[in-house]
Amino acid sequence: MTAYNMQLESAKKLWQPFHTHGKKRRNLAMAQDELGLPKHMLTTETPTRWGSRQMMIQRVLEQERAISQVLKADRKSRHLVLSWQDMDVLEAVNKVCRCFFFYYVLFLT
Note the pTM of the prediction, 2 decimals. 0.81
**Rg (Cα) of the chain, in Å, rounded?**
14
Q: Which pLDDT band holds residue 109 (cuts at 50, 70, 90)?
A: low
Q: Judge whether residue 63 has pLDDT over 90.
A: yes
For residue 103, the model assigns a pLDDT of: 64
For residue 106, the model assigns a pLDDT of: 63
pLDDT per position as a tens digit, 7-53: 778 888 888 888 888 899 999 999 999 999 999 998 888 878 777 88
Domain locations in the chain as residue ranges: 3-108
Residues with Cβ < 8 Å from 101, sequence gap 6 or more? 50, 51, 54
